[in-house]
């Protein structure tokens, strides 16, 4: 089988391409024109330049493939409002759906977000039945991912569209060349982040998510969503793990949620004045103080998703960032 992958050069895309090869699939990877593809170069896969907003080119590139894994998206949460982000995340996915239909491709695996489900606490973490509450943040990234997911589920209900949706939590791992979520680890390693708050996340190794994504080609149930996560951990415990791996005494300082929100407000205000992206915005602050915990048991059971200990995932991330000179 030949698998078409959008967003192939990102952290998850790079891991998915490797897992596809590991499971014996042929891969056609799509990247944006001029985008670096160093994380997938030399793998022996077919790499093509394209754009999910260019429907005719997209359809031409997808021709001859048996399945599409759609990862490409804009994940920025600053600025909170962005018409282009909504266009890419929603209309780009509509184009992928249209091409899948026209070419009669067997299955589409869509990469959504855990944020499209309501979060929970340690006693009762969120699951695939938890209703979306992200509209309270007024962020186009969160809303666009949820709207896109609802569009795909409606396509399944109304047209029996063959889609499986994977919803990763907070991913860390190798090949994070941007860096994206790994920026948190890099900031601590380079001693740029010295404070933490009461929030927490469900952290997962990106390589484990890639296994779930590829397994979904044959194992996933169409019309279903799968939270791809692992360990629910407070930022305090997560940062302590990083310090232990670095063999440093833990010296981060806890700050109140109110102070985090004030810093976020000031960061957003300064960004408006300076026209520069802030280290912390009000949107980032609002999200960071939350405990966003989820139950990944459905993906672990139905997609045979591995559960690599987060300590190991952190070590692999730091090793990769050091090797590529992100850590001083």
pLDDT at residue 77, as a whole number: 87
Contacts of 125 (CB under 8 A, 6+ apart): 119, 202, 232, 293, 294, 295
Short-list 201, 197, 219, CA closest to 285? 197
- pLDDT by residue for the chain (328 residues), tens digit each? 999 999 999 999 999 999 999 999 999 999 999 999 999 999 999 999 999 999 999 999 999 999 999 999 999 988 888 999 999 999 999 999 999 999 999 999 999 999 999 999 999 999 999 999 999 888 999 999 999 999 999 999 999 999 999 999 999 999 999 999 999 999 999 999 999 999 999 999 999 999 999 999 999 999 999 999 999 999 999 999 999 999 999 999 999 999 999 999 999 999 989 988 888 899 899 999 999 999 999 999 999 999 999 999 999 999 999 999 999 8
Contacts of 160 (CB under 8 A, 6+ apart): 222
Taking each continuous run of H as one helix and of E as one strand, the counts in the chain are: 12, 13
Evaluate whether 143 touches 83 at the Cβ level (below 8 Å).
no
Burial zone of 136 (CB within 10 Å; 0-12 exposed, 13-18 middle, 19+ buried): exposed
How far apart CA 184 and CA 242 sit, in angstroms, is 10
292 DSSP β-pair partners:
201
pLDDT at residue 28, as a whole number: 98
Q: What is the pTM of this model?
A: 0.96
How far apart CA 132 and CA 115 sit, in angstroms, is 7
Name the DSSP letter for residue 293. Answer: B
Topology classification of domain 2-179+202-231+292-307: Rossmann fold (3.40.50)
Q: Tell me which residue has tokens 């509209």.
A: 135
Average pLDDT over all residues of the chain: 96
How far apart CA 201 and CA 220 sit, in angstroms, is 25
Evaluate whether 204 touches 294 at the Cβ level (below 8 Å).
no
């Amino acid at each position: 089988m030949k698998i078409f992958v959008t967003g192939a050069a990102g952290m998850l895309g790079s891991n998915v391409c490797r897992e596809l090869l590991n499971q014996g699939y042929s891969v056609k990877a799509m990247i944006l024109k001029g985008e670096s593809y160093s994380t997938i170069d030399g793998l022996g896969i077919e790499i093509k330049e394209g754009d999910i907003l260019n429907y005719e080119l997209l359809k031409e590139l997808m021709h001859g493939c048996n399945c599409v894994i759609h990862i490409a998206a804009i994940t920025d949460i600053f600025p909170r409002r962005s018409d282009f982000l909504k266009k890419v995340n929603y209309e780009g996915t509509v184009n992928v759906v249209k091409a899948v239909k026209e070419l009669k491709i067997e299955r589409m695996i869509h990469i959504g977000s855990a944020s499209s489900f309501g979060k929970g606490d340690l006693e009762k973490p969120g699951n695939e039945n938890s209703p979306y509450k992200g509209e309270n943040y007024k962020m186009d990234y969160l809303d666009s991912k949820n709207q896109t997911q609802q569009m795909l589920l409606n396509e399944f209900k109304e047209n029996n569209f063959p889609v499986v949706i994977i919803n990763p939590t907070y991913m860390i791992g190798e090949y994070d060349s941007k860096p994206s979520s790994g920026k948190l680890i890099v900031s601590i390693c380079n001693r740029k982040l010295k404070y933490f708050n009461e929030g927490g996340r469900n952290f997962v190794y990106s390589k484990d998510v890639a296994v779930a994504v590829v397994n979904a080609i044959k194992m996933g149930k169409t019309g279903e969503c799968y939270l791809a996560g692992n360990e629910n951990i407070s930022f305090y415990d997560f940062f302590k793990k990083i310090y232990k791996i670095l063999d440093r005494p833990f010296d981060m300082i806890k700050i109140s949620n109110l102070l985090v929100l004030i810093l976020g407000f000031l960061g957003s205000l300064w960004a408006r004045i300076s026209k520069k992206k802030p280290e912390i915005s009000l949107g980032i602050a609002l999200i960071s103080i939350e405990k966003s915990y989820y139950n990944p048991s459905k993906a672990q059971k139905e997609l045979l998703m591995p559960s690599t200990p987060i300590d190991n995932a952190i070590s692999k991330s730091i090793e990769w960032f050091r090797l590529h000179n992100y850590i001083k």
